[in-house]
Chain A
Amino acid sequence: MKKDNTRFTFLGTCFVMLFALLLGRILYVLAVKKDEILSQTKTNLQHKIKKLRGNIYTNDGILLATSIRGFEIYKKAGQILTKKDIKKLKKIGISITPELNKKRKLIYKFINPYQQEKLKKLPVKKKLEIIPTQKRIYYRKNIYAPLIGFLNYEKKGAAGIEYYFDDILSEIKKVKTLEIDLSGNLLLTKNPEILYAKCSDVYLTIENPVQEFLYEQIKNTVEKFHGKKGYGIVINARTGEIPGFVSYEKEQKKFYMKNPLIGDAFEPGSTFKIVTVSAALQEKIVTPFEKFYCGEGQFRFPTITVRDHEPYEWLTVAEIIQHSSNIGICKIAEKLGKQKLYFYARAFGFGNYTGISLPAESRGVLRRIKNWSETSLYCTSFGQEVSATPLQIAQAFSVIANNGLLIAPKIIKKIVASSGRTLYQSKKSVVRKVISPETAKTVKEMLLNVTENGTAIRAKIKGWKICAKTGTAQKFDASIGKYSNEKYFASLGGFLPMENSRFVIFIGVDEPEKFYYGGLVCAKAFKKTAQFLIDYYGIPPDEKEPQMLVKK
């Protein structure tokens, strides 16, 4: 029998070629159309889900910021919600406005898991995408807002602690992609536990009772004296930790881009005299009992005429500080010279960052000597032509309190991972030795006089030795080109107790009305805060009678 199998061979060849064609098609799709296909199908399928953002606590464990899980609702592209749909959504607590745009759009920012369960049962869910998200919740917002900051639209830290510790709070580098279906259900992936995982928590050095009390005081002071802004800082002198960090503005903002305590720089005024006098004493240019003639209220220096608020004749160095005589301090500065004054101002931390863990820190202005004018030496000696942040001034006081050591201020106590492991623990860090303990002791005694008999007598607490220095700085008015007679910055910085000092307190009020002396405006807040610290931390009274450097 003759066999003719051509047609079978032909059919077999056809099949092999057809399957080869399929392979070709697959290769073509993979090589040419890959991006096109992925771009069209990917967007609505995969969502990056971050771990739950870490909490922020105070040192005493008060919760300030936390995150909760929930869902956000998108309207799918090409879908329009009818009035009936909107009505049904309203029933489960989702009120949205009618939207005619056909594009994919976020229509509701946050629903809780309970609402999601209910929403999943509604027919309208076919028009929606329900995507896991998280919501940030802040507690005690009015007190902590400038410090904590806030999150921006993309849920990234935009200011304050939230910004500075964004990496730690959200662990950006460890974000994992999760697959979910369009109703927000988690699909099985290699890491489903991520939905329940949390990032590290940040603990601040803030003590909530101190912070709250300080906030009340600053608020009352600003309101009483009709100031624009108020500042309050408490620093633990021994460790640099900050238990109280308060700024108050009359017109409260919704968002604080920068913390005023490190972002606002102004001329410190007389509080800066502690730098001048410390420098002079350390360099042994003057002795505490050396007397200077103070020109009876007005004195003509070679380049500038300086005035005092009250006329004095002959004052010792201690009395110059006690009465805050500008003329007296200028004479000391004259003896000290530019180089030394500049050197010590730098050493006290002026014109440089404090290195605190907060964003947008200003370093103030301390010009280099080559840029100094002929009046700069005199002006700088009592705190003009130099600008500083409240934290820098408080830091300068802490140098005296620490017997001459500059200790870096700290706002972060520790960082704790969700596992409970402590990732970071703040340690005391001594930046430099600024003045000798002997000089510091002398300056302390002078500052004690200020509360005992001087400009800050209202801040005195019987039984405790409190050192302080007032500051009443005229503000430079750019519109008239000279120092204003109406706008002042009133401040009062100090520490307690005198020996083994534990806490530095700084109170400042910007532009108080009518009364503007630092010793008047800030004294009450200072005293009450000091009293609170004594009670809260149990600071024992100083038994010895204060030794007087000057007679009454």
Chain B
Amino acid sequence: MGRKKHLKETLIAVAYFLTLLGLIMILNTSSVSHALKLKNPYSVFLKQLVWLVISTVIFFLLWELDTQKLRKAIPYAVIVSFLLLILLLIPGITKPVKGAKRWFFLPGGISLQPVEFIKILWVLYLADYLDRHRKQLYDLKILIGPLILLVFFSFLIFLQPDFGNTVLFFLIFSIVFFIGKVPVSRILLLILFIIPFAYWAVMGTEYRRARIRAFLSPGEYEKKESYQLMRSLSAIVSGGIIGKGAGSGISKLMYLPCAHTDFIFSVICEEFGIIGAVFILFLYSFFAIIGLKMAVACRDNFSKIAIGGLVSVIGIEAFANIGVSTGLLPTKGLPLPFVSYGGSNLLASFIILGLMVSIYIENGERSYL
């Protein structure tokens, strides 16, 4: 069992490696375009650095968290989450960015995106619920409870609007139910129940329809929806196998919007080529496998489901982000965990890491001592 002792260390190492790589890429991508706009070229980098320090502190604080206390706090946190989401939608509380009300603006130029943290809570809530009802997992009456909560959460997030995270909530729901040993027939029944909502959500709004169309035919250059995608693909393609070399990419200079946030993977591809892409994909796969191994190593049901669900959040976000950058998925504004610029995202990623490690130490690792 010698190898298992190092599971959490490996996980932390991978996470920090991705974060530092992200920091370098953020400096690399943002400094030039900011300098050209006559802003401080290091402002983005420094902000992220501050966030990294905050995240690290919170990460270490989470180590000493008591799982039982955490589980007791979940119902209250769910109520607070609902209030926060409703608060976002009330006019006048916050100002929309590009038509979306997703952020709270705190003094000092800090913006927080509640949904980044609520999805962690969502995993914990589901794990807690399934653990408490682990004898009745075939009973639809029991399973319908989280489903109703999912519909409420999804609806509130959808109104922001934030379609990407709505889908993420649904996926977390499905995966946690799956690893929570809910019978597959029951999961399929629940999914069937959701389909009408999903159809209305996708085809109900014009701009989402447009994105779907753009996804289906990205060649039409002038369309705004496929513009980002074409730029992103162009960056990936121009990198070739070994890339243009660190710092030599040109897409970040203004052609590729959100180069340091949503499309940072394209810039990595442009500058480091397929080799860089393979490396990143390997790191995320490695992260997912280590996380799942940690889940399996835990004794109790809650820990298993929670760690498995949390690592899935990172995995899905990474897949979604890279899938969008490469044109495999329709355009959505999902960040690349640990790597992309964004305080909420980085902090949420480190909270996930901290919770995984904390739960693992308490319920997994100590059993082998």
Task: Tell me the A residues contacting B by CB distance below 8 Å.
Answer: 1, 3-5, 7-9, 11-12, 15-16, 18-23, 25-27, 29-30, 33-34, 36-38, 40-42, 45, 77-78, 179, 181, 185, 187-189
Q: Closest 4 interchain pairs by CB?
A: A41-B234, A15-B288, A12-B292, A19-B281
Chain A residues near B78: list those with CB within 8 A: none
Docked pose: A209 CA to B308 CA in angstroms: 91
Chain A residues near B237: list those with CB within 8 A: 29-30, 33-34, 37-38
Docked pose: A52 CA to B288 CA in angstroms: 56
Given contacts A18-B315, A38-B238, 14 further A-B contacts (CB under 8 A): A7-B178, A8-B292, A8-B296, A15-B289, A15-B292, A19-B318, A22-B319, A22-B326, A26-B277, A29-B236, A29-B326, A36-B219, A179-B253, A181-B254
Docked pose: A16 CA to B323 CA in angstroms: 14
Knowing A8-B179, A30-B236, A188-B32, say if A41 contacts B319 (CB, 8 Å). Answer: no
With beta carbons under 8 angstroms apart, the residue of B219, B230, B308, B328 that contacts A8 is B308
Docked pose: A41 CA to B233 CA in angstroms: 9
Docked pose: A38 CA to B304 CA in angstroms: 47
Asked if B322 is an interface residue, CB under 8 A from chain A, the answer is yes
Residue of A nearest to B234 (CB): A41
Q: How far is the CB of B138 from chain A (nearest CB, A)?
A: 16
Q: Are B254 and A25 in contact (CB under 8 A)?
A: no
With beta carbons under 8 angstroms apart, the residue of A20, A30, A41 that contacts B274 is A30
A-B contact pairs, 17 of them (CB 8 A): A3-B296, A11-B175, A15-B285, A16-B288, A16-B289, A20-B281, A22-B323, A23-B278, A30-B241, A30-B274, A38-B234, A40-B219, A41-B233, A77-B222, A185-B36, A187-B254, A189-B250
Knowing A22-B322, A29-B233, A30-B237, say if A7 contacts B221 (CB, 8 Å). Answer: no
Q: Main SS of the interface on chain B? A: helix
With beta carbons under 8 angstroms apart, the residue of B282, B284, B288, B304 that contacts A12 is B288
Q: How far is the CB of A426 from chain B (nearest CB, A)?
A: 44
Q: Are A19 and B295 in contact (CB under 8 A)?
A: no
User: What class of interface size applies to chain B in its complex with A?
Assistant: 35 or more
Q: Are B319 and A19 in contact (CB under 8 A)?
A: yes
Q: Are A11 and B281 in contact (CB under 8 A)?
A: no
Task: Tell me the B residues contacting A by CB distance below 8 Å.
Answer: 32, 36, 175, 178-179, 181, 219, 221-222, 230-231, 233-234, 236-238, 240-241, 250, 253-255, 269, 274, 277-278, 281-282, 284-285, 288-289, 292, 295-296, 299, 304, 308, 312, 315, 318-319, 322-323, 326-328
Docked pose: A4 CA to B250 CA in angstroms: 50
Docked pose: A5 CA to B219 CA in angstroms: 44
Knowing A16-B288, A22-B328, A37-B237, say if A7 contacts B179 (CB, 8 Å). Answer: yes
Q: Are A23 and B178 in contact (CB under 8 A)?
A: no
Knowing A26-B236, A38-B237, say if A1 contacts B319 (CB, 8 Å). Answer: no
Docked pose: A327 CA to B27 CA in angstroms: 93
Most chain A C-beta atoms within 10 Å of own C-beta, residue among B178, B253, B295? B253
Docked pose: A78 CA to B223 CA in angstroms: 10
Q: Are A45 and B255 in contact (CB under 8 A)?
A: yes
Q: Are B179 and A41 in contact (CB under 8 A)?
A: no
Knowing A26-B236, A40-B230, say if A181 contacts B327 (CB, 8 Å). Answer: no
Chain A residues near B308: list those with CB within 8 A: 8, 11
Chain A residues near B284: list those with CB within 8 A: 19
Q: How far is the CB of B216 from chain A (nearest CB, A)?
A: 15
Residue of A nearest to B233 (CB): A37
Chain A residues near B285: list those with CB within 8 A: 15-16, 19
Residue of A nearest to B299 (CB): A1
Chain A residues near B299: list those with CB within 8 A: 1
Docked pose: A23 CA to B231 CA in angstroms: 19
With beta carbons under 8 angstroms apart, the residue of B221, B277, B304 that contacts A40 is B221
Q: Are A22 and B292 in contact (CB under 8 A)?
A: no
Docked pose: A22 CA to B322 CA in angstroms: 7
Residue of B nearest to A34 (CB): B237
With beta carbons under 8 angstroms apart, the residue of A25, A30, A77 that contacts B327 is A25
Q: How far is the CB of B190 from chain A (nearest CB, A)?
A: 16
Q: Are A78 and B222 in contact (CB under 8 A)?
A: yes
Q: Are B278 and A30 in contact (CB under 8 A)?
A: no
Chain A residues near B255: list those with CB within 8 A: 41, 45, 181
Q: How far is the CB of B284 from chain A (nearest CB, A)?
A: 6
Chain A residues near B181: list those with CB within 8 A: 4, 7
Docked pose: A532 CA to B288 CA in angstroms: 93
Q: How far is the CB of A531 from chain B (nearest CB, A)?
A: 63
Q: Are A41 and B288 in contact (CB under 8 A)?
A: no
Q: How far is the CB of A313 from chain B (nearest CB, A)?
A: 89
Residue of B nearest to A7 (CB): B179
Chain B residues near A29: list those with CB within 8 A: 233, 236-237, 326-327
Most chain A C-beta atoms within 10 Å of own C-beta, residue among B32, B178, B237? B237
Q: Are A41 and B269 in contact (CB under 8 A)?
A: no
Q: How far is the CB of B343 from chain A (nearest CB, A)?
A: 26
Chain B residues near A18: list those with CB within 8 A: 315, 319
Docked pose: A41 CA to B327 CA in angstroms: 15
Residue of A nearest to B223 (CB): A78
With beta carbons under 8 angstroms apart, the residue of B231, B253, B254 that contacts A41 is B231
Docked pose: A7 CA to B301 CA in angstroms: 13
Q: How far is the CB of A312 from chain B (nearest CB, A)?
A: 84
Docked pose: A187 CA to B240 CA in angstroms: 22
Docked pose: A5 CA to B277 CA in angstroms: 30
Docked pose: A436 CA to B202 CA in angstroms: 100
Q: How far is the CB of A84 from chain B (nearest CB, A)?
A: 22
Docked pose: A40 CA to B238 CA in angstroms: 13
